[in-house]
């Protein structure tokens, strides 16, 4: 393991949040991917983050609830949509471990437009559905332009308890920074929430083409699958990397 500081980003930044939302019914599907397959797909400003020398790609379908995109947004007008993100894990010169998104699917056209404009993130509008019966969840998405798909059937298992900071689960889940390149520079956004209450999970069906749409090859079922019932999230404004989150 490296000596990257993985704790500082978990602490809430000073200042007021820019917006609020809740993430619910999250599945975390993970595949190990060779560095040489990932490196050409990640901006040169970012370095691949690895656990014991292994890089990972995650596919995360979930529900976005009670979204207030700005702190002045009335609670009565909060809205919901479904999202799926395809991501890998990165850092900036040995600091600020976070995520880099290859793509994000959203069922809200308005959310797609806003996220592309305000966050420089590769969102795509998609037809999406999620149904839950007991511990069994069925989740589907089809991108409206291009047709990339995901069909996941999975069941929720027992809670795993708190994740040790040196564990693979902490490495994969406890990510509070996102990095993207837009407006000709490296940009960073930050979120804050309590640690995920992680559960075991079992995949019964996982068919997807989101990987190929991003230039990846995630063959076979995911070797690692987990579930989290949800967290409430404070969002901090996107900023040039290195600037204070409070500037937003």
Tell me if the domain spanning 19-243 has CATH number 3.10.150.10: no
pLDDT digits (tens, 9 = 90+) for 194-204: 999 999 999 99
Residue 222: which pLDDT band, with cuts at 50, 70 and 90? Answer: very high
pLDDT at 97 over 90: yes
Strand-pair partners of 224: 30
pLDDT digits (tens, 9 = 90+) for 170-193: 999 999 999 999 878 999 999 999
Token pair recorded at residue 23: 């993430």
Question: Could you give the 3-state DSSP secondary structure of residue 112?
Answer: helix
- Would you say the C-alpha torsion 230, 144, 214, 115 has a positive or negative sign? negative
Residue with token string 């370095």: 47
pLDDT at 118 over 80: no
Higher pLDDT, 117 or 129: 129
Widest CA span in the chain: 48
Residue 16: which pLDDT band, with cuts at 50, 70 and 90? Answer: confident
- Strand-strand pairing, 177-182 and 199-208: unpaired
Contact 131, 137 (CB under 8 A): yes
Per-residue pLDDT, 173 = 95
DSSP structure string for 145-207? TT--EEEEEEEEEEE--PPPTTSHHHHHH---EEEEEETTEEEEEEEE-PPP--EEEEEEEEE
Average pLDDT value for the chain: 91
Token pair recorded at residue 214: 């991003």
Regarding pTM above 0.75, the answer is: yes
pLDDT at 71 over 70: no
């Amino acid at each position: 393991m490296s000596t990257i500081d993985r704790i500082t980003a978990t602490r809430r930044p000073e200042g007021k949040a820019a917006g609020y939302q809740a993430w619910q019914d999250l599945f975390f599907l993970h595949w190990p991917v060779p560095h040489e397959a990932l490196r050409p797909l990640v901006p040169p400003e970012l370095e691949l983050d690895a656990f014991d020398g292994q890089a990972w790609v995650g596919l995360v379908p979930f529900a976005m609830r009670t979204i207030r995109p700005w702190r002045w947004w009335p609670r009565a007008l909060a809205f919901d949509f479904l999202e799926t993100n395809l991501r890998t894990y990165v850092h900036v010169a040995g600091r600020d471990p976070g995520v880099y998104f290859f793509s994000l699917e959203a069922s809200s056209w308005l959310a797609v437009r806003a996220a592309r404009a305000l966050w420089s993130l590769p969102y795509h509008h998609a037809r999406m559905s999620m149904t839950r019966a007991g511990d069994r969840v069925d989740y589907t998405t089809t991108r409206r332009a291009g047709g990339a798909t995901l069909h996941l059937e999975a069941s929720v298992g027992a809670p795993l308890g708190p994740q040790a900071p040196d564990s693979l689960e902490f490495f994969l889940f406890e990510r509070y920074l996102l990095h993207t390149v837009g407006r000709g520079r490296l940009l960073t956004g930050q979120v804050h929430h309590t640690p995920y209450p992680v559960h075991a999970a079992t995949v019964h069906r996982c068919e997807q083409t989101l990987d190929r749409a991003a230039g990846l090859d995630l063959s076979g079922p995911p070797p690692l699958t987990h579930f989290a019932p949800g967290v409430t999230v404070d969002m901090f404004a996107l900023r040039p990397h290195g600037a204070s989150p409070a500037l937003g």
